[in-house]
Amino acid sequence: MESLYLLIPVSVVLVFVIAGLFWWSVRSGQFDDLEGPAHRILMDDEKTVRPQEGKADKETDHPMRRLPD
């Protein structure tokens, strides 16, 4: 029982020390992703849609355009 009088305060202090070190590491940028943006630019899988060449009037080809009655 007497050992609990020593172990409980030591464990509470240890929790505060670990939390303080974690807070310091997050604030100082230890967990910043430095390589992610460089890899993300290489893995660009978006397909670009090129307009068809040779169209005379591109406004009439728009699917949302209403034709006059």
| Residue 46 covered by a domain | no
| Residue 19 covered by a domain | yes
Q: Which residues of the chain have pLDDT under 70?
A: 44-69
| Residue 63 covered by a domain | no
Count structural domains, the chain.
1
| Residue 54 covered by a domain | no
Q: Extract the tokens encoding 18.
A: 């670990």
What is the rounded distance in angstroms from the CA atom of residue 14 to the CA atom of residue 6? Answer: 12
What is the rounded distance in angstroms from the CA atom of residue 67 to the CA atom of residue 62? Answer: 11
Q: Which of 17, 14, 36 is nearest to 25 (CA)?
A: 17
Q: What is this structure's pTM?
A: 0.49
Question: Residue 38: its pLDDT value, please?
Answer: 80
Question: Residue 25: its pLDDT value, please?
Answer: 94
Q: Residue 7's domain spans which residues?
A: 1-29
CA angle 66–67–69, rounded 5-degree value: 120
